[in-house]
Every structure is written in C-alpha cells, then in structure tokens.
Amino acid sequence: MFRRKSTFFLIYMGALIGVFSLLCGHALLRQRGDLALLQRKGEVVKRLQLTDLCLFTDARYTRHPSMADLNTPFQDYPMAFDFFPSGSLLPPPPHITGGGK
C-alpha cells in the first residue's frame, strides 16, 4: 500500500498527534466540569476531619506513608527483607529521607 516507509510513518505520527490532542481537549473539558465535585469532596474531608488516603492494605507503613517511621519495614529484625509487594512500589516519605525539611 505505502511504497515509502516515511509516508506510513508520517501518517502514523499525524494520527497519534491527533489522538493526543483529542485526549488533552477532553481532559480540559472534564477538569472544568469536575471542579465543583472536587470542592464538595474537599468540604466533606474538612468537615469529617479525614486523614491521609489509604493506598495499600497490606502493611501499615504503606497504608499511611506520612505516619511511617524508619524501622517499621524491618520490625522483625534489622536485616529483614520487605516481604510486602507494596513496599517496593512506594518510595519512603520525604520526612524519612530528609527531603521534607
């Protein structure tokens, strides 16, 4: 169908750019529409005094990262490996690594 590979590449890239621009436009429209919903949810959080979001359910130091301490992943003994999979997905909180000063 296409004799030159560059023609196929240009058509393909044009289609990708078109899809990307449609996705960006949709995101902008949804952002304006969801602003009122986010403000209502923020009011509920303030009124009920909710804490941080629970990201994972397996280990307490990944449930609430802002409440983690230095030795929680190694509570069995100091050289213990982290046996929860979420421990490898979630980086340590900034107050432990020194980045949140």
pLDDT in tens, 65-94: 666 666 655 566 666 666 677 766 766 666
pLDDT at 50 over 90: no
Whether 97 contacts 83, CB under 8 Å: no
What local confidence, expressed as pLDDT, does residue 45 receive?
A: 83
Tokens of 82: 């982290």
Residue 76: what residue type? Answer: D
Calculate the alpha carbon distances from 81 to 19, 59, 78 in Å: 44, 13, 9
Residue 91: what residue type? Answer: P
Cα–Cα dist 52/95, whole Å = 15
User: Using one digit for the tens of pLDDT, what is the confidence trace for 16-46?
Assistant: 999 999 999 999 989 888 888 889 988 988 8
